[in-house]
Amino acid sequence: MHKELNSSMKENCIVVHYSEIGTKKGNRDFFEMKLIENLRRKLKNVGVNRVYRRYGRVVCDMEEDADLDRLTYSLERTPGVSNFLFAMKGPLDIEEIKKACYALLEEENFDTFRVSTTRSYKGFSLSSQEVNEIVGEYISSKLKKKVRLKDFDVELHIEICEKEAFVGYKKFRGIGGLPVESSGKLLCSLSGGIDSPVAAFMMMKRGCSVIFVHIYNSLQVGEELLKKIRDIVEKLTEFQIRSKLYIVPFESLQKRIIASIPSRYRMIVYRRYMMRILNKLCMKEGCGGIVTGDSIAQVASQTVENLNCIFEVSSFPVFSPLIGMNKEEIVEMAKKIGTYEISIRPYPDCCSFMIAEHPETRARSEELVKLENLLDGADELVEECVEKAKIEVIEL
């Protein structure tokens, strides 16, 4: 911000705040730098030319023709961002701060406002409350607007830092959590339904980068229906910038299971062999675990007993972040992240093929081992499924 301000001035930067990163103490630099790296990658083509740290916050300098709507969309989908403020950046001078506030608000339509100042630089000559009072009185007299501490139309935010001040009123909430790639890499079993995309998102929010695996029966599913899976991954890539998708054919193994396993056990055996495929890919990709969209007792295969039987064949940890959520909660989250409308498109699930009307809900491990001993060559078919997998990369 220059010394001489005028009414045509607009926001020239974004002040990004995080919450959980600030509690990391000795590892804080690592998490901050990962967030900065992700912001640089996500915002480089939508009007941001510089991203850097400033005293417990990250600042993104905007180009003159930056698209605020696109920037808002991107920042709202960046794990690690708690909230962000479109702001004017200027010198640590109360007169310049007053002028900047006036320049931002003079053409806005509102009746009441409040001023909220945070002062991370304690060397500034005025306290936060004094800045609130001085700026509030100035805006009230210049624009003939009323100060109101509750039920206000506009909240003016002023942030006093060591090198500069930031002023803005367009503040948005982010999704919080930790920056993607700060918590390792996981493999997600993506079914095409509502649940697994939400499970993937929740692990991204915890800082994990996620590789996707869709296991399907090519005799049931055509290329046009695989587009649904790609569309889901594309939507989730908005949160992690770059995604890898494995599309794994399952029909040969499924035929062997249908021929040898009683229908009431097929779903559980299907999933046990899918878990073995996921383990192979997990090892190949160097992932630290597997993500599923399971929720306790939502369907027959998700009873405590059946899940134990499915997860026990995995050599890797299995993470199920939806395990205690109700369906309504999962649907609400799917709508919020933008995957719901894609997930509800008609799509045949290979696991539902030739399943009993009354499937087993309390399977025992020893029973399943005996049944799987009837599957000659099943291990070789697992290897075949992995070898025939197609890989796609999706980027923003």
How far is residue 68's CA from residue 66's CA, in Å, rounded to a whole number? Answer: 6
Q: Are residues 199 and 331 in the same domain?
A: yes
Neighbours of 265 (CB within 10 A): 22
Structure tokens at 115: 């001023």
Q: Considering just the CA atoms, what is the radius of gyration of the chain in Å?
A: 26
In a domain, 178, yes or no: no
Q: Are residues 145 and 198 in the same domain?
A: no
End-of-domain residue from the set 173, 194, 227: 173
In a domain, 85, yes or no: yes
End-of-domain residue from the set 104, 138, 173: 173
Q: Are residues 206 and 250 in the same domain?
A: yes
Q: Are residues 126 and 238 in the same domain?
A: no
Residue 247's CATH number:
3.40.50.620
Q: Of 211, 169, 152, 201, give the one whose Cα is nearest residue 68.
A: 169
Structure tokens at 203: 């692990």
Contacting residues for 228 by C-beta, under 8 A, at least 6 apart: 192, 342, 345, 347
Q: Are residues 254 and 375 in the same domain?
A: yes
In a domain, 46, yes or no: yes
Q: Are residues 196 and 80 in the same domain?
A: no
In a domain, 5, yes or no: no
SS3 content of the chain, % helix, strand, coil (to 5): 45, 20, 35
Q: Are residues 227 and 154 in the same domain?
A: no
| C-alpha dist (Å) from residue 63 to 10, 44, 51, 60, 74 | 11, 10, 12, 10, 16
DSSP per position, 79-109 = TT--EEEEEEEE-S-HHHHHHHHHHHHTT--
In a domain, 89, yes or no: yes
What is the extent of the structural domain holding 337? 185-395
How many structural domains is the chain composed of? 2
Q: Of 249, 248, 243, give the one whose Cα is nearest residue 230.
A: 243
Q: Are residues 256 and 349 in the same domain?
A: yes
Q: Are residues 257 and 158 in the same domain?
A: no
In a domain, 192, yes or no: yes
Q: What pLDDT, on a 0 to 100 scale, did the predictor assign at position 388?
A: 96
How far is residue 9's CA from residue 349's CA, in Å, rounded to a whole number? Answer: 55
Q: Are residues 155 and 190 in the same domain?
A: no
Q: Are residues 138 and 220 in the same domain?
A: no
How far is residue 15's CA from residue 159's CA, in Å, rounded to a whole number? Answer: 9
Q: What pLDDT, on a 0 to 100 scale, did the predictor assign at position 7?
A: 36
Instruction: Name the strand (E) or helix (H) holding 137.
Output: helix 128-143
CA 351 from chain centre, in angstroms, equals 27
How far is residue 192's CA from residue 349's CA, in Å, rounded to a whole number? Answer: 8
Instruction: Give average pLDDT by consecutive 10-residue segment, the chain, 396 residues.
Output: 38 94 85 96 92 93 92 96 96 96 94 96 95 97 96 97 94 96 97 95 98 88 83 97 96 92 94 97 98 95 95 98 97 98 79 66 94 93 96 94
